[in-house]
Amino acid sequence: MSTSVLTIDIQQDQISSAILSQGLKGIRIVETACSPMVEMAEADVPFQAVKKTLIPLLEKLGQGYDRCVISLPLSCFFFRTLDLPFKNRKKISQILSLELERYLPWPVEDVISDFCLLPKNSKDAFETTMAGVASIQTGHLEQFKTIFSECGVHPDVITAGSGYGSALVYAGTADPDAFCLFAHVEPLLASVYAVRWGELVFTRTVSFDADHPVPSITKNLIHTVLSVNEMFTNPLELKEIVLSGTVSFLPTLVAETEKELAMPVRVFDMLIGAQRLPIPESVSEDPPDVIWNAIAMGVNEIKGVETFNFSRQVSDLALFYQENKSSILVSAVLSFFLFLAWTLNPMVQMNRMERQIEQLDTRIVRVFKSCFPDVTTIVDPVHQMQLKVAALTEKKNLAVFDGYPLCIDVLNEISNSLPPSLDIVFSRFVRAENNLIVTGSAAQFNTIDKMKNHFKNIALFKEVDIHSASMDKKDKRVTFNLKIVL
């Protein structure tokens, strides 16, 4: 789907206009028009002349456009480049009037201002940023808006003119490491733009001597270079000067400036600056220099280049995004990582649990091999161990009933038959096939007799004899030796 943009460039002595469209084939110039400013004798000539010139121009172009961009003469504006204490657009908007108050030639309450950030020229600063600021008297701006409304046009963007759009196009194509000047010359007025790192870091308007325009403009160019280099801690050498404008002496100005300043000076070519933008044969036959800025304004609008905008016809959503852009981006990044963590967490947990299961399986197999080293094929160690334990338990029970009890069962019977009150200590337990030799010590001789009587009640013992019993003089205890027949 194509998008069309109407641009109106209000100059001091004429108004130029263009309609540009963007489609699958890129940017295309649809129509251009130019009309000299109507001469009037009234006191409010500047505004009424604009109205009477603009109405027939709009009738010629028609209403076939989606967005409208209008530029006002640069003489209506006050420009300043400021080093601000914030990087956030919302905070800058809140303190901008305070920063400008000491520089403005008008009361701050009678002024409306806008700014464009210069991030490339303040990239080394962590807490501050540079911004180009433009201000216009509210009364003048409202008068222009009233004229536009009476003419039936409702601009989406009201910005600076006098070559400002062309300067932005040139800045986007200039050497990013160079310091250059772009100057737009109209009758009795020159607009000078300083370009560094592909940004317009300085803007000024100067009046020149009509009788000696070339020396006057050259002098102001030199003053601009000195002013710009004072703004930065790392001054650069001027590399190139580009001139544009509607004055007849422009070729002479190019030659004389190049000779005077001993550096390359050339005329701005919008076709080259906009990547060879084609101009169809059906457009106006007005001189290209007259409509260059109108075309440049449309190119900037289509490409989304940041410009001054005094129309304030910005949606609440767009304004909120501009003022809170950094916070929104941070929130979006954090939300993305939170969503990513929430999505990946189950997979991480499953992977961790699988590793734990593998470790437990390895430990189970290791325990199984230590208990049953004769088993070489291990498929399900838990089930196989359960079967082995059940088999051993069954074998133990069978051994008790068959007259061949296990040693552990014999010791269990001995432990259960003796009461805790008897002071007896067993020191040796020797098991033969059919008998058992038990050696130990007791507190008294009758304790041994009581032990023997308790042993006779054990079903596993067929016969219990005391082989020996004697008093140990050193320990003062009776040592004994029992033989038990199983």
| Dist. CA 217–CA 188, nearest whole Å | 10
| 192 membership: H or E segment, kind and range | strand 189-196
CB of 170 closer than 8 Å to CB of 191: no
Cα radius of gyration rounded to whole Å, the chain: 50
Q: So what's the pLDDT on residue 401?
A: 47
Q: What ranges in 423-464 are assigned the alpha helix state H? A: 445-456
> At 474, which helix (H) or strand (E)?
none
Place of tokens 């703004």: 231
CA 343-346-351 angle, to 5 degrees, is 125
pLDDT of residue 193: 92
The token pair at 168 is: 């932005």
At residue 411, the pLDDT reads 85
pLDDT confidence of residue 385: 81
Helices and strands per DSSP (H, E), number in the chain = 13, 17
For residue 38, give the DSSP letter: P
97 within 8 A of 112, measured Cβ to Cβ: no
Distance of CA 142 to CAs 136, 183, 192, 347, Å?
Answer: 10, 28, 26, 62
Q: Which pLDDT score is estimated for 46? A: 60
Instruction: Name the packing angle between helices 445-456 and 407-417 (round to 10°).
Output: 120
| pLDDT value at residue 287 | 62
- Which amino acid is located at 147 in the chain? I
Exposed e or buried b per residue across 67-96, where buried means at least 16 C-beta atoms within 10 angstroms of its C-beta: ebbbbbbbebbbbbbbebebbebeebbeeb
- Residue for token digits 């303040």? 122
Specify whether the CB–CB gap between 20 and 29 falls below 8 A.
yes
Residue 245, strand partner residues: 185
Residues of the chain with pLDDT below 70 are: 1, 40-46, 123-128, 271-288, 312-324, 395-404
What does the pLDDT look like over 338-391, one tens digit per residue?
Answer: 888 888 888 888 888 988 888 888 888 888 888 877 777 887 888 888 887 888
Helices (H), 192-248: 213-231
